[in-house]
Chain A
Amino acid sequence: MAEKINLTLNIWRKESPEAEGYFEEFKISVTPDASILEMLDELNNDLEAQNKRPIAFESDCREGICGTCGIVVNGHPHGPIPKTATCQLHMRNFKDGETLYLEPFRAKAYKNIKDLVVDRSPLDKIIQAGGFISVNTGNPPDANSIPIPKETALQALDAAECIGCGACVAACKNASAMLFVGAKVSQFALLPQGQPERYERVQAMVNTMDEMGFGSCTNTYACEAECPKGISITNIARMNRDYLKAKISSHSMQY
């Protein structure tokens, strides 16, 4: 096993949604093979053994796909390594003696519940407004009845790979959710199955996104740079295009 490294951690603490937050300093020694969350596991184990309040943070799959984890490490959501979720951020990426700041995803739309835990349910609200194809379970046509060009299917998958972690919001200086929304809008806009609701969907989702208190996109592309799945800002452009088209030509007065 590789030699341990020593780190100073400054971790955001907040006892309840109403309480004032503050930074608490910890000195820790950790194996470089561990992930940053495993480091926190160990720290928590020590804290619990001393009957001290452990650090609340969220994680689940620990393989970078569920989107539950999300810590801003030294100013980067999911840490400084590109295309890596917090749970996949290994300590071998840090140097002995380094100081780390661990903060929650911060945005008006994300309530800070406790320590590093935030409420990202506004993202669900956006999906509920239109992030689906309205098809009931039953007997849809045979899966091979609509050929879809391989390239199109792959583009749709590129967009659909979004893990819903919400780091795009945390990275954006305006706390905008456009990358998240753009990815979902794009997935369906690219596929033939998504066409019937294409223009209603984009308007419904953008409206809800605004209501939830996210900022607007000023095309800085920090979201793309920080996204653990590398979702492309082309998806935002596609959403903008569809949104404009919908506004100009849709017959619906609803939006």
Chain B
Amino acid sequence: MVKLDSKVPAGHISEKWEKHKFEMKLVNPANKRKYDIIVVGTGLAGASAAATLAELGYKVKAFSFHDTPRRAHSIAAQGGINAAKNYQNDGDSVYRLFYDTVKGGDFRSREANVYRLAEVSNNIIDQAVAQGVPFAREYGGYLTNRSFGGAQVSRTFYARGETGQQLLLGAYSALSRQIGAGNVQMYTRREMLDLVVVDGHARGIIVRNLLTGEIERYAGQAVILATGGYSNVYFLSTNAMNSNVTAAWRAHKRGALFANPAFTQIHPTAIPAHGGAQSKLVLMSESLRNDGRIWVPKKPGDTRKPNEIPEEERDYYLEVKYPAFGNLVPRDVASRNAKYVCDEGRGVGPTGRAVYLDFADAIKRMGRKAVEEKYGNLFEMYENITGDNPYEVPMMIYPAPHYTMGGLWVDYHLMSTIPGLFVLGEANFSDHGANRLGASALMQGLADGYFVIPYTLGNYLGTERPQKVSTDRPEFAEAEENVKNTIKKLLSIKGKKTVDAIHKELGHVMIDKVGISRTKEGLEEAIKKIRELREEFWNNINIPEDDKTLNQTLERAGRIADFLELGELMARDALNRNESCGGHFREEYQTEEGEALRNDEEYSYVAAWEFKKVGEWELNKEPLTFEYVKPSMRSYK
């Protein structure tokens, strides 16, 4: 059992962070350069952290498996970033953003963390603008906003449909400035394969140089993981091809607890699968739900073309069921309802697993030009992929695994259960509870990197005063040996199956049994199947070539091996949680109207899993208390 101390400071929620910033220890400017800080991952959270820490004077070593930090998947976020600026004078405030996020997360997040996130959200916008991020503006030259799912105010800042790209390039430019100045040592094409723990503290990492295959050791007085989420466990997801759980998972196996793995988000507006050789799902920004109307034919098996179906035979099911929020209900609600109408046989498109997202009314109301200005590049992208023109034919969408709220457990300081190991961005579990609101991922990644870690890391270093450790220590040798053995084992299997084939099978099990909706039987079956797949993987895969050069199959194999362990934990977590909340929907626990039924009596806790051995975990619970936002049934009616 691990004692989980969230270290949430005392005081009123609106004063906790401000007060705590004063209470935390500082490292004096001259001493900062004595600290080597390892940052793994250079997406929004990692790049912003690495840049900011280097600006403060720390010696930073940043690692990315990409060829350049600018490739991280943060770049693909389309819709926007939330902030409580209240530029629109529509009643927004830090408190409302906090409230919406806790409620949107279905009361499974830590209030204090969420409040801090809302608090620093405004700084992020200021910082990004100062870096030259070209957000959308009004004719008067001031910033404009759009509204997003789960909120009744317009608080989302955006840059066409490329907000993630622009924010990442902002953080990347700050990081590049520090690399150029020699304050950050950038290691590209390096994949972290193990964490080195010395005397109970994280003190280094083992990486593989992806070009030469060399196994390298790096030491630092703290390790920061900003390695993203694990949606690729589903094989088909909106994540990038290389997104993986490996760095976080290897840290988990070294003692960091993994929290709420079953909380995954299935995004309602992806382009439906075409089948066959499909390698990933492409998201259409959720912002499309602002002006697009979702519908399916009223009658099952209707094969008419969408434009031939008269108005009265269309079912705008979200607008009917949820009149207050309509098409802007939170993601999980939208996804589940899409699944239901398709299960009823009312799905459209060649596979029958799709619903329409129609812009005919928007074009009528705003004019084609305004629609083009707002969504032009998304429409272009859609047409490019599907061959259909959304100005004329309604788009087709279907939910796709997109974001994972679960991740390594961290306290208020973003430190995991291994002292000295910090986890930022999507890789941690902290702020989104059981469901993340749209445009909040960019906000969290940058909040963690720009405005939280610079303070909390200083507190750790100021308190612990860790000394430099040598990479010659036995702990490094042991970790390196561990990595080398795994690689050797993978290469020596020489079986019949390809790595991708196993990944696809795993993905199938995961989406089917641990996806949009889950049952006890299904989850038990999933665990059994995942175990069989794991067995098959370790006995029957084949990896051509050796480990001395760029070997992309070997890279993938290592990641799939970890997904095969994580997948089981996700199913176990889902099985443990006998309630429905946010992205986790257990069919046994729903209201008569088919809405998610939470069980606050028994499950108002963070499930933090402690690794014992492969396939064996111990559950630790961090109770959640809600002092400010009283848990209520989420209602978007």
Residues of A with Cβ closer than 8 Å to B?
A: 1, 15-16, 30-31, 33-35, 37-39, 41-42, 44-45, 47-49, 51-54, 56, 58-68, 83-84, 88, 90, 92, 113-114, 117, 119-121, 123-124, 127-144, 146-150, 153-154, 156-157, 160-161, 163-164, 187-188, 191, 193-194
Q: A62-B282, A156-B132 are in contact. Are A131 and B274 (CB under 8 A)?
A: no
Given contacts A34-B274, A41-B500, A62-B280, 16 further A-B contacts (CB under 8 A): A45-B500, A48-B499, A51-B494, A53-B545, A56-B550, A61-B71, A62-B282, A64-B381, A67-B70, A119-B67, A127-B176, A153-B137, A157-B160, A160-B134, A160-B166, A193-B131
Please tell me if the beta carbons of B48 and A137 are within 8 angstroms of each other in the complex: yes
Q: In the complex, which residues of chain B have a beta carbon less than 8 angstroms from the beta carbon of A35?
A: 279
Asked if B174 contacts A60 (CB within 8 A), the reply is no
- Are the CB atoms of A47 and B544 closer together than 8 Å? yes
Q: Tell me which residues across on chain A come within 8 A of B549, comparing CB atoms.
A: 15-16, 114
Contact B132 A187 (CB under 8 A): yes
User: Which residues from chain A contact B51 at a C-beta distance below 8 Å?
Assistant: 137
Q: B12-20, B139-147, B419-427, B457-465: which one contacts chain A?
A: B139-147
A1 to B274, CA, bound (A): 8
| A/B interface sample: 27 pairs, CB < 8 A | A1-B274, A33-B275, A35-B279, A39-B277, A48-B498, A48-B542, A49-B496, A53-B545, A58-B67, A60-B242, A62-B241, A64-B384, A66-B76, A90-B384, A113-B211, A121-B188, A132-B174, A137-B48, A139-B123, A140-B130, A144-B143, A147-B142, A153-B135, A156-B134, A160-B134, A160-B166, A187-B132
Contact: A67 with B71, CB < 8 Å? yes
Q: Which residues of chain B are within 8 angstroms of A45 by Cβ–Cβ distance?
A: 498, 500-501
Question: Which of chain A's residues has its CB closest to B157's CB?
Answer: A143
Q: Is B173 an interface residue (CB 8 A)?
A: yes
Min CB distance A81 to B, Å, is: 8
B385 CB–A CB distance under 8 Å:
yes
Closest residue to B496 on the A side, CB-wise?
A49
Q: Does B590 contact A (CB under 8 A)?
A: no
Q: Which residues B182-196 have CB closer than 8 A to chain A?
A: 188
Q: A62-B280, A67-B71 are in contact. Are A193 and B241 (CB under 8 A)?
A: no
Lowest 4 A-B CB distances belong to which pairs?
A147-B141, A128-B180, A140-B130, A132-B173
Task: Pick the residue among A52, A132, A156, A193 that contacts B544 (CB under 8 A).
Answer: A52
Bound-state Cα–Cα, A121 to B71, Å? 12
- Whole-angstrom CA separation of A64 from B498 in the bound complex: 27
Give residues 521-571 of B contacting A (CB, 8 Å). Answer: 542-545, 549-550, 552-553
Is the CB–CB distance between B132 and A61 below 8 Å? no
CB-nearest residue of chain A to B545? A53
Chain A residue at minimal CB-CB distance from B498: A48
In the bound complex, do residue B129 and residue A150 qualify as a contact, i.e. CB atoms below 8 Å apart? no
Return chain B residues, CB-CB under 8 Å to A134.
177
With A120-B68, A136-B55, A143-B143 known as contacts, the answer to whether A88 contacts B384 (CB < 8 A) is yes
Q: Which B residue's beta carbon lies closest to that of A49?
A: B498
Q: List chain B residues, Cβ under 8 A from A130.
A: 180
CA distance A136 to B56 in the complex (A): 9
* B450 proximal to A (CB < 8 A): yes
- Most chain B CB neighbours (cut-off 10 Å) among A133, A142, A143, A157: A143
Closest to B138 in A: A150
CB distance from B632 to the nearest CB of A (A): 33
- Contact at B162–A65, with CB atoms within 8 Å? yes
* Complex Cα gap A194–B173 (Å): 13
Q: How far is the CB of A139 from chain B (nearest CB, A)?
A: 7
> B584 contacts which chain A residues (CB < 8 A)?
none
Check A143–B134 contact: CB distance below 8 A: no
| Contact call A53/B125, Cβ cutoff below 8 A | no
Distance in Å: Cβ of A104 to nearest Cβ of chain B: 13
Residues from chain A with a CB closer than 8 A to the CB of B141 are 147-150
Closest Cβ–Cβ distance, residue B54 to chain A (whole Å): 10
Q: Closest CB of chain A to B473's CB: distance in Å?
A: 32
Known: A41-B279, A137-B51, A137-B451. A124 touches B552 (CB 8 A): no
**Which one of B73, B138, B387, B501 lies within 8 Å of A66 (CB-CB)?**
B73
Q: Tell me the complex Cα distance, A39–B385, Å.
A: 15
Measured between beta carbons, the chain B residues less than 8 angstroms from A1 are: 274-276, 350
B66 contacts the other chain (CB 8 A): yes
> Which residue from A34, A135, A194 sits with its C-beta under 8 Å from B278?
A34
Interface string of B470-510 (1 = CB under 8 A from A): 00000000000000000000000010111111000000000
With a cutoff of 8 Å between Cβ atoms, the chain A residues found around residue B500 in the complex are 41, 45, 48
Complex contact A147–B176 (CB within 8 A): no
**A62:B279 contact, CB within 8 angstroms:** yes
Chain B positions 43 through 85: 1 when the CB is less than 8 Å from some CB of chain A, otherwise 0: 0000010011001000000000011111111011000000001
A144 to B160 CA separation, bound complex (whole angstroms): 18
- Flag if A164 contacts B274 (CB, 8 Å): no
Tell me which residues across on chain A come within 8 A of B550, comparing CB atoms. 56, 113-114, 117
A64 to B282, CA, bound (A): 10
Give B551's nearest chain A residue, CB to CB: A56
Residues of B contacting A33 with CB < 8 Å? 274-277
Q: What's the Cα separation between A38 and B384 when bound, in Å?
A: 15
Min CB distance B96 to A, Å, is 19
Query: Contact string, B359-400, partner A, CB cutoff 8 A, digits 1/0?
Result: 000000000000000000000110011010000000000000
Cα separation A48 to B274 with both chains bound (whole Å): 24
Q: A113-B550, A137-B174 are in contact. Are A157 and B166 (CB under 8 A)?
A: yes
Q: Is B169 an interface residue (CB 8 A)?
A: yes
Give A113 to B210 CA distance when docked, in angstroms: 11
The answer to whether A60 touches B132 (Cβ under 8 A) is no
Smallest CB separation, A243 vs chain B (Å): 19
Q: Which residues on the A side are within 8 Å of B48 (C-beta)?
A: 137
In the complex, which residues of chain A have a beta carbon less than 8 angstroms from the beta carbon of B275? 1, 33
B136 lies within 8 A of chain A by Cβ = yes
Asked, given contacts A1-B350, A62-B280, A134-B177, whether A144 binds B450 with beta carbons under 8 Å apart, the answer is no
Q: Are A132 and B131 in contact (CB under 8 A)?
A: yes
Tell whether, in the assembled complex, residue B136 and residue A37 are in contact, meaning their CB atoms are under 8 Å apart: no
- B8: chain A residues at CB < 8 Å are none
Considering only CB atoms, which chain A residue lies closest to B549 in the complex?
A16
Tell whether, in the assembled complex, residue B173 and residue A133 are in contact, meaning their CB atoms are under 8 Å apart: yes
A254 CB to nearest chain B CB (Å): 15
A191 to B159, CA, bound (A): 15
**Once the chains bind, are B127 and A53 in contact (CB under 8 Å)?**
no
Residue of A nearest to B68 (CB): A124
Q: Which residues from A are CB-within-8-Å of B166?
A: 157, 160
Q: Which residues of A contact B381 (CB under 8 A)?
A: 63-64, 88
Question: In the bound complex, what is the Cα–Cα distance between A153 and B384 (angstroms)?
Answer: 26
Give, as a whole number of angstroms, the nearest-CB distance from B342 to chain A.
18
Q: Which residue of A lies closest to B384 (CB)?
A: A88
For residue A43, which residue of chain B has the nearest CB? B277
Inter-chain CA distance A38–B500, complex, in Å, is 12
Is A147 a contact partner of B140 (Cβ separation < 8 A)? yes
Given contacts A60-B241, A143-B125, A150-B139, contact A34 B276 (CB under 8 A): yes
Q: Check B384–A68 contact: CB distance below 8 A.
A: no
Q: Which B-chain residue is minimally distant from A58 (CB atoms)?
A: B67
Cβ distance A190 to chain B, nearest Cβ, rounded Å: 8
Contacts of A154 in B (CB 8 A): 134
Q: A31-B276, A143-B126 are in contact. Are A61 and B240 (CB under 8 A)?
A: yes
Q: Determine whether the beta carbon of A92 is less than 8 Å from that of B387.
A: yes
